[in-house]
Structure 1
Amino acid sequence: MFTENTMTLTHAATLAMLSAAVKRAEDMGQPQCIVIVVASGMTLGQIRMTGAKFLSLDSARAKARTAASIRAASDAIPEAVGLAIAAATDGQVTRLGGGLPIMVNGTCVGGIGVGSGSPDQDKDVAQAAISALEAQL
């Protein structure tokens, strides 16, 4: 077979997810950098909230791409290989917490990465975005 049917996130889904993530970050009082990528790792949308650490945009992108690539949370990468993988991919893969895969009907359609807070805050904001998408499916 030379082709396959695929699902992809739309701009509407991206905006809804970003809005939900921003709201959650505002509710907890922690400005965040939020990046959403499609399954191939290309960025669909991103925001750096006022007050978020500007370098966290890079780590949020790496978290999103990692989660989409491994189809698991970014911190699922074992600690023993985390630094080697980060070095081998020029920082494009990370084991930092805050990246989650975006799954629809068992298929990975992308990833979301959040950075600028603690790992638990980052994961909470990412989950809020995914929950907003799931509510619309």
Structure 2
Amino acid sequence: MQTKPVLGQAEVNEILAAAREEADRHGWKVSIAVVDDGGHPLGFMRLDGASPGSAYMATEKARSSSLGRRESKAFEDMINNGRYAYLSSPFTATLEGAVPVLIDGHCVGAVGVSGVKSEQDAQVARAGIARVVPRSA
């Protein structure tokens, strides 16, 4: 039987707290979603002033990143580089702003953020992950 690491509620809470701290430090009004390796929601936070649409996009970005096992920016880059057929993929959020959570080579979920510039969304997601995953992981 195989075993793999999983995100527990303690890790999800730490990710959300660290991501919120990063957003607050810059005054960014964002939504933050944490999903498991199947793209199912584990935790969510919509900061005061974040748009309702950001709640949807954060979750979809996280889901795409988790299921695709890569940053959502990779999908955006594929499309921008001419691979337009990828627009018909099941990954609906093909914009930068979600980062997979990788532990010992396993994708255990992802963090998606929406509400500011895409690279800033990704910065918030990375800050959340860094709280629970050391750089060497």
Q: What TM-score do you get using the length of structure 1 for normalisation?
A: 0.88
Quick check: 1:36 aligned with 2:40? no
SS of residue matched to 2:95: coil
Unaligned runs of 5+ in 1: none
Deviation at 1:82, TM superposition (A): 4.5
Give, in whole Å, the separation in 2 of the partners of 1:129 and 1:102: 10
Of residues 57, 64, 67, the one that matches 2:65 is: 67
3-state secondary structure, aligned to 2:133: helix
Question: Which residue of the partner structure matches residue 83 of structure 1?
Answer: 87
Q: Which residue matches 2:124?
A: 125
Give percent identity, aligned residues only.
Answer: 30
SS in 2 for 1:100: strand
Indicate the larger mover: 76-85 or 8-17: 76-85
Corresponding residue SS for 2:92? coil
Q: 1:6 to 1:31 in 2, by over 3 A?
A: same
Q: State the superposition RMSD in angstroms.
A: 1.4
Q: 2:43 aligns with which of 38, 42, 45?
A: 45
Q: Counterpart amino acid of 1:101?
A: P
Runs of 4+ in 1 over 3 A off after TM superposition: none
C-alpha contact (below 8 Å) 1:82/1:95 kept by paired residues: no
SS of the residue corresponding to residue 45 of structure 2 reads strand
Instruction: Find the aligned partners of 1:82 and 1:61 in 2 and give their Cα distance.
Output: 20
Amino acid at match of 1:52: A
Q: Identify the residue that residue 101 of structure 2 maps to in structure 1.
A: 102
TM-score under structure 2 length normalisation: 0.88
Cα shift readout 1:89-110 (whole Å, capped 9, x = no counterpart): 4xx5221110110001111000
For 1:26 and 1:82, locate their aligned partners in 2 and report how far apart those are by CA, in whole Å. 34
1:23 and 2:25 correspond: no
Alignment check: 8 A CA contact 1:34 1:57 kept? yes
Q: Aligned letter for 2:130? A: S
* Secondary structure of 1:55's aligned partner: helix
Tell me the number of residue pairs that the alignment of Structure 1 and Structure 2 aligns: 129
Deviations 1:30-88 (A, max 9, x none): 11100000001110000100011111111111110111111100121111245322xxx
Shift in CA distance, 5/23, structure 1 to aligned 2, threshold 3 Å: same
